[in-house]
Amino acid sequence: EKALNAQAGPWRQPGSSLQGHIAQRVTKLCVDVEGPTTILQNPPELAEESGKGKEPKKFTFDASFWSHDGFENDERGYSRALPGSKYADQMHVFETFGKKILDNAWEGYHCTLFAYGQTGAGKSYSMVGYGANKGIVPISCEEIFKRIQANTDAGLSFEVMVSMVEIYNEQVQDLLVRPKDRPKKGLDIREHNELGIYIVGVSKRAVDSYPAIEAVVDEGTHNRTVGSTLMNATSSRAHTVLTIEFKQISQVGGQSGQKLALINLVDLAGSEKAGQTGASGDRLKEGCAINKSLSALGNVIEKLADKATGKAKPGAIIPYRDSKLTRLLQNALGGSSKTVMICAISPASSNYEETLSTLRYADRAKRIKNTAAINENPQDKLIRQLREENEKLRKMVGTGSAAGPDEGSQEEMAAKAAEIAALEQALQEMQQSFAERLSAAQKQAQASKKKASADLKQPHIANLNEDLLLTAKLKFPFKEGMTRVGRGSSEDQDEQGPEVALQVPGILQEHAVVENKDGVCSLTAKGEAALTTLVNGTAVQDGVPATLNHGDRVAFGQCIFIFVEPSKGKVADLINSGQVSYALARKELQQGDVSGGPTEEEIKASREMAEELERKAREAEEAKERAKAEAEELLKKREEEFKQQMEIKQKQWQEEIEQRKAAEDSEQLAATAAAAEQARIHAEEVTRLQKEFEERQKKQEEMAQQKIEELERKAKKAAAEEEGHRQHELAMQKLEEQLMTVMPLVKEANLIIAELQRPHRLETKMHCELTAEGKHGAVNVAAAVMLNGTRLFEWNPETLENRVFILRELLQRAEEESLEAIKDLPQEEDPLWDPIQVERLIGVSQVLLEGVLLQVENKVDARILSSEGQAVGTMKVEIIPIAKDGSLGIPDEEVVDEPEELLGTTMKILVHVPKAVDLPEALANDVRVEFNYFIDEKPHHFEAEPGHNCFPEFNYKETFIQDPVTSRFLEYLQSKLVFRVYGKDLGAADAAKEMMRVAEDAKKRREGDARKKAEEQAVAAAAKAAAKKVEDQEERTPASVEATDVTGQQNLPELPGAIGSSEAEPGLRSAAGADVASPMSPDSTPAKPASSGAGDEAATFPPDAHDDGGKKCGCTIA
């Protein structure tokens, strides 16, 4: 069975995630839930780019939970749904799936619950929860013991065992063991016919209550925090597996039986890391095993889905063995287990791609069907089978040793020996009663609690971690007097070591001292330590005490803590109130490291500018609406006036007609003529009035239209300014986010590099891309790798992150072995090596093409701007339109009034670049220039004379012909021609040669060491073979010699292969290289050996008979 559900909503504490904080401000909601269906809306900008419209994508699962809004917090802090809301609280999620898991476990089925999704989307919240909002794990643990306590069957008893492991960088670590006591390479995963897939040597704790299991989980979380905070592991890169072994033992009629259920609760690493194994294009992306488990999990789910739908080929192998995670959870993925997968997604449009990827992942996983079986194995039978298997393995190992195994069989025997040890441990555990295990677990828990206990009534510091669940798990109290901070392991019990021991790069043996005097604490660091000791983002002054206040953020190297005065509150209060968070503390450190960062005044001014632009846009829109209304009112008024005038004239005309009818008959003809004349005059007057009205109306309409157009232009300008400012704000927020990611990594990399005694150094660089359209260029952050002040190459943020993880592995290896072990790394394994970028971009120069559109020449001295925005020279550029007769410049008779008149004609343009001036000394070598013209696929390029020249001359001329001129070409002429200027860094070139020489020397040393090792192995193998041969000869040699020759001396038996025997090797040579003479007489009679006297029981060859490695040997044969 597989149950899939999607859960929408960021559940991190406010302020704990910078990405989430920015997303709330500048992104839109793009997820909705209707019953079991999750609906993903296409963001408008993505729909426009793809041209696929705004049709939403729908995914249907067993359940879809909404958790973004529609809730309120009660007095305990528990989030519950508002009336009529679709919000799903933690208890609703448990009732839907967690309860089913327990029901299945009670029936004897293995069960697994996965939490998958992007970091910060709510995986850990769903699994563990926070504060009053407990997740599935604690609720399930509590429910287990509630059901046990409710049992009334005297013949039914229960046993609960708990283990907790973490898979990080393809190593399985036991979280119930302190980091210093763990094996260096982690634990092994094995498979047995009876035991199934298991972890060799993993700790299992017996528990009998919810507080006991809660204490075990807290211990595991504490040890996980030690590894994360002090060993530089990132929690979002690790998978945590909590396994609850639940047994039901029934006694019926003197017979015993049991049901066994394994409940695996798995919190997977952030899914966004699967696509960032570094760094697309990073040559070492396969060298870091950080994301191997997630990638393998995706492959396994894809293969299982294909198998379930019939797409897989017959006999296709599911790659469970590709990673430790898939190997450990093989049953859960495709075997005998009832499995639920929760996929947590972010509803923010900024995370659209990750959300879509997660939903598609879940859509594949829901097709998998497992066949679960109840696990009812009698323990006695299992113990008997294990004993038989163990005895069989012992016999195999014993037989193999007697036969003298070769190298391959030796490895096989070692594996068998390890399997014997694992089976013996399993037997020992099975034969141990649950009461004994429980007693041992309670003693161990008390010992761990005693070690972890600290006097938190004193002022103390608590750790801050990007994972809220790992925050405030490490606490160091400051006793009255002096407390030392320095290099060491917090797990060590060395009384001479520092009380606050941090095993991280950048921490000195004696790093800092905290003095507690009457409850007031002050922090002092001296020398180099002062540079990496910060309070609220500011480095402490060398040797000057800094007073610590409640809520201060204290950083030692890469470790960030919060200072707590118990009399003023608890650390939980500071975090829950939002006063302190990992993201805010990290931002403080970033602002302290970046010079020229935005100040509070600049942020305030930027906010005021945004408000002013918004006000102007609003006023312009209101003015436009008022103008439209005024124009309509004026037209209406004019129409009313015209109607009134027409009505008056019509009335006067009717009256005159009636008067003429009353005139005398004698005067009728004259009156008729006068009336006709009067009618003509009246008609002309009406026509004149109408024409006058129309002219006035037209004039008023034109004026109103002009006013409206002017207002529209102002409104568009204001809207454009507002949009430009908004885009600038978005770019700055993106830049801030990149800096928050890159700068800590750069700092950590430099600390590790110093520990490894390498001469490199990393620097944070910001690059601004200039576009031909003249829009705001994107600002990107990179890490430049420097060597003795020379820039070798740059890494993008993804590559940087990948390399830092490899550097951490190197540092761990150096600490476990020595610096010599990593001294001569081959280039393909060295994270600080990449092909050196000898040629670099000096800068970019932009020239407007609008002059060509206006048919005028454009001769400019265009500034060359570096990617950092600095002026690094000038380029002289001439862009000249060419007349029809081929002469430069357009004569007056060919000049057009409107650019549209150029459509369909032929246009010729000359681009002339005579030279550049004032280029930087360091890069003005072999200068060349590139630019792209219109729709040409390849860039055009030209170069100066080879060599060093800060004033290179190009004398580049090229005529471009556009036939015919199109509307697209006219649009292009409203943009800019962008020239990219490149030069070679001779310092980087020299560094490349030096690094090549060093690499060749290292390669020779490695080859020499390899040859030496091979020779030593060959000598050892030859010695081993000779020893074995002698041993075989001794086994075949008679114990005594009875025969005596006629002279009374004992006859020497002819030993096979011995010196003097007929079977001796003919090619036996002395150490000097000469053939050893056989001590045989010509007639093949054995030579008479030297004797110490008659009757000796041993015969001895003459001392010079043969050599053995330059040592004279007298072989005595009994």
Q: What is the pLDDT of the chain when averaged over all its residues? A: 77
Examine the pLDDT at 1118 and tell me if it is beyond 60. Answer: no
Stronger pLDDT, 595 or 704, i.e. the higher one: 704
More confident residue, 1052 or 908: 908
> What is the Cα–Cα distance from 35 to 86, expressed in whole angstroms?
9
Per-residue pLDDT at 862: 92
For position 1110, what pLDDT does the model report? 45
pLDDT of 662: 64
Q: Give the model's pLDDT for residue 617.
A: 59
What is the number of residues in the chain? Answer: 1118
Mean pLDDT to the nearest integer, 863-877: 90
DSSP state of 1078: P
**Structure token digits, residue 209:** 């209550």
pLDDT at 3: 47
pLDDT tens, 345-367? Answer: 999 888 888 899 899 988 888 88
Which tokens go with 591? 């602002």
**Per-residue pLDDT at 661 exceeds 90:** no
Q: Tell me, what amino acid is at 13?
A: Q
Give the Cα separation of 513 and 540 in Å (integer).
12
Identify the sign of the CA torsion 1020, 1022, 1023, 1027: positive
Could you tell me the two tokens for 74?
A: 């009660």
**Mean pLDDT in residue range 1050-1060:** 41
From the CA atom positions of the chain, what is the Rg in Å? Answer: 44
In order, the DSSP letters of 978-1032 are EEEEEEE-HHHHHHHHHHHHHHHHHHHHHHHHHHHHHHHHHHHHHHHHHHHHHHH
What's the pLDDT score for residue 503?
Answer: 80
* Per-residue pLDDT tens over the stretch 238-292: 889 999 999 888 876 666 778 888 899 998 888 765 544 444 556 666 555 666 7
Q: What is the pLDDT of residues 502-553, one digit of tens each?
A: 888 888 889 999 999 988 999 999 888 898 899 998 999 999 999 999 999 9
How far apart CA 506 and CA 532 sit, in angstroms, is 7
1059-1088 mean pLDDT: 39
Percent of the chain with pLDDT over 90: 22
* Per-residue pLDDT at 275: 47
Highest mean pLDDT among 226-235, 273-282, 446-455, 777-786: 777-786
**At residue 809, does pLDDT exceed 70?**
yes
Residue type, 1072: A
**Worst-scoring range by mean pLDDT, 122-126, 334-338, 982-986?**
334-338
- 72-126 confidence digits (pLDDT tens): 988 888 999 999 899 999 999 999 988 988 998 888 888 999 899 888 888 888 9
Residue 430 has pLDDT above 80, yes or no: no
User: Is residue 895 predicted with pLDDT exceeding 50?
Assistant: yes
Within 507-599, residue ranges assigned H as helices are 528-531, 571-576, 582-593
Read off the pLDDT band of 394 (50, 70, 90): low
Cα separations in angstroms, 1030 against 127, 402, 595, 605, 1034: 66, 17, 76, 92, 6
- Percent of the chain topping pLDDT 70: 72
Residue 667 has a pLDDT of: 58
pLDDT reported for residue 15 = 33
- According to the per-residue pLDDT averaged within each range, which of 691-695, 726-730, 1053-1057 is highest? 691-695
pLDDT at residue 497 in the model:
79
Alpha-carbon gap, residue 759 to 447, rounded angstroms: 45
The helix (H) or strand (E) run that includes residue 163 is strand 156-168
245 vs 403 pLDDT, higher one:
245
pLDDT at 1050: 42
pLDDT, residue 411, reads 59
1080 by DSSP, 3-state: which? strand
pLDDT of residue 425: 65
Which of 37-51, 371-385, 423-437, 833-847 holds the top average pLDDT?
Answer: 833-847
Tens of pLDDT, residue by residue over 123-152, are 888 988 888 899 999 999 999 999 999 988
Answer whether the bond into residue 10 is a cis peptide, omega within 30°: no
Q: Which of 201-205, 590-594, 862-866, 1099-1103 has the lowest mean pLDDT?
A: 1099-1103
* The predicted structure's pLDDT at residue 451: 52
Confidence of residue 191 (pLDDT cuts 50, 70, 90): confident
